[in-house]
Amino acid sequence: MAADQPSARPEPFDAVDVIRAKRDGGALTDAQVDWVVDAYTREVVAEEQMSALAMAVLLNGMTRAETARWTAAMIASGERLDLSSGLSRPTADKHSTGGVGDKITLPLAPLVAACGAAVPQLSGRGLGHTGGTLDKMEAIPGWRASLSTDEVRRQLEDVGAVVCAAGADLAPADKRLYALRDVTGTVESVPLIASSIMSKKIAEGTDALVLDVKVGSGAFMKDLERARELAETMVALGSDAGVRTVALLTDMSTPLGLTAGNALEVRESVEVLAGGGPRDVVDLTLALAREMLAAAGVDGVDPADALADGRAMDVWRRMVAAQGGDPGAELPRARETDVVLAPADGVLVRLDALAVGVAAWRLGAGRARREDPVQAGAGVELHAKPGDAVRAGQPLMTLHTDTPERFGRAREALEGAVDVAPEGSRPDVPELVLDRVGG
């Protein structure tokens, strides 16, 4: 319904007045927030009006009270689940703000379940250079992302972990606003990012939530202070809603692990569950697992033991099978490969995460629009990370795709992504975990 057409009932506010209030730096009242979110969901507030309001929020911000009310209004636009109700163990969820090679959910969910907490991991798909957990899991033959609420609850009780798509009725206002922000240059607003993430996480009804807020070139937040602001805002929203919430700020200047791409990352995750895998993936998985277990009140369990003795792998296999997947099936492989070589002898001191993510996206691992298909086998495989010695002509990366005409654009993305310094040089590699907020 257009904004200038009469609605079936009188509206208590005019969208233009709400826009002006925020445009002029004022704080919206609870009643204004409740109305504008509901009216936008009902299509009484037009797209161009919500675009103007989102831009006003981007430029002028929101108070803590406004952001909390905005989040509550988005939750109220749909159903509210209680996935912790009736379970024999406490629940803990994790959310990552997205990065390159960020396959942490895959080993983390079964690991935490193997240690005694239930993990209701409602996940999403990739857009642009950041990969989506559901896209990765769908590389497993037979695996399905869509489950009913009853199926989720049964799997949480029987297996302890579930990775699935959020239902259409969970914060539907956020789905509309997210798509709008993406095309109006308002994605970067901290209150809108925080309310988008937290409305869905609070609505699912978990007991505890651990946030992995990425920082660096491959992350949404490029600098530590902005990332800390986002983390503090989300932790406050969770705490105010009665969800035990903590955030880790983690480095995303270099890709996580040695792969970026759907089936490639599943393979690497299984290596971690088998007791191997890249050190950074293992370390971050364990750090987040310890935070989740502590937030859920599970004491006296070291998740490193559950990786070493195979318990986490057992839960992974049961989790995949419960959703129709074959945990022993051969994963898809791309039909074509292309090798990127080291330009000189020396030490690899920089490998830009954003460039690798864009290359994987251009190879077919990601999508430009939500409806675009992805290639399960496409992506980038890394053969060296910062700190490794390399020789000129040595393979640095292998590019994977079914469509070799994509190689040229992927290589363009990687131009300037690598720095090789003389032997004996030390790379300036940040710590994996940069800070902690809340708890």
Task: Provide, rounded to the nearest whole percent, the portion of the chain with pLDDT above 70.
Answer: 97
Query: Is the whole model's pTM more than 0.75, yes or no?
Result: yes
CA-to-CA dists, residue 356 to 234, 254, 434, angstroms:
28, 9, 22
Give 276-301 pLDDT, tens digit per residue.
999 999 999 999 999 999 999 999 99
Query: Has residue 86 been placed in a domain?
Result: no
Domain-embedded: residue 147: yes
pLDDT digits (tens, 9 = 90+) for 77-88: 998 888 777 889
Looking at the structure, tell me whether residues 184 and 297 fall in a common domain.
yes
**What's the pLDDT tens digit per position in 104-118?**
999 999 999 999 999
| CB distance 146 to 131 below 8 Å | no
Please determine, for residue 43, whether its predicted confidence score (pLDDT) is greater than 60.
Answer: yes
Q: What pLDDT is stored for residue 1 in this prediction?
A: 45
Asked if the structure places residue 154 within a domain, the reply is yes
> Within 10 Å of residue 8's Cβ, how many Cβ atoms?
7
226's tokens: 């902005």
What average pLDDT does the structure give for the chain? 93
- Same structural domain, 322 and 348: no
Residues designated catalytic: 95, 174, 181, 196, 200
- Lowest-confidence region among 120-134, 340-354, 381-395: 120-134
Q: Are residues 268 and 386 in the same domain?
A: no
- Tell me, yes or no, whether 250 and 121 share the same domain: yes
Q: Are residues 300 and 416 in the same domain?
A: no
The reply to whether 323 and 382 lie within a common domain is no
Same domain, 164 and 102: yes
pLDDT of residue 233: 96
Print the domain residue range for 47. 15-61
Q: Is residue 5 part of a domain?
A: no
Dihedral Cα 241, 244, 247, 248, nearest 10 deg:
-170
The answer to whether position 132 is within a domain reads yes
- The CA distance from 306 to 272, in Å, is 11
Does a structural domain hold residue 73?
Answer: no
Number of domains composing the chain: 3
Write the pLDDT tens digit of every residue in 226-249: 999 999 999 999 999 999 999 999
Query: Which of 306, 329, 352 is the last residue before a domain boundary?
Result: 329
Contacts of the segment 145-152: beta carbons below 8 A, 24+ positions apart: 145/323, 147/323, 149/81, 149/83, 152/83, 152/120
Q: Look at residue 324 and tell me whether its pLDDT is greater than 60.
A: yes
Q: What is the tens place of the pLDDT at every residue in 55-84?
A: 999 999 999 999 999 999 999 999 888 877
The CATH number linked to 24 is 1.20.970.10
Give per-residue pLDDT as tens, 351-407.
999 999 999 999 999 877 767 789 999 999 999 999 999 999 999 999 999 999 999
Confidence of residue 429 (pLDDT cuts 50, 70, 90): confident
* Same domain? 39 vs 105: no
For residues 257 and 363, state if they share a domain.
no
Burial string for 223-261 (b: 16+ CB within 10 Å, else e) reads ebeebbbbbbbbbbbbebbebbbbbbbbbbbbbbbbbbb
pLDDT for position 413: 97
Q: From CA 354, how far away is CA 370, in angstroms rounded? A: 20
Tell me, yes or no, whether 320 lies in a domain: yes
**145/288 same-domain check:** yes
Q: What CATH number is given to the structural domain containing 196?
A: 3.40.1030.10
pLDDT tens, 173-225? 988 898 888 788 888 899 999 999 999 999 988 999 999 999 999 998 999 99
CATH code for the domain of 341: 3.90.1170.30
Mark whether 323 and 343 lie in a shared domain.
no
Answer yes or no: is 261 within a domain.
yes
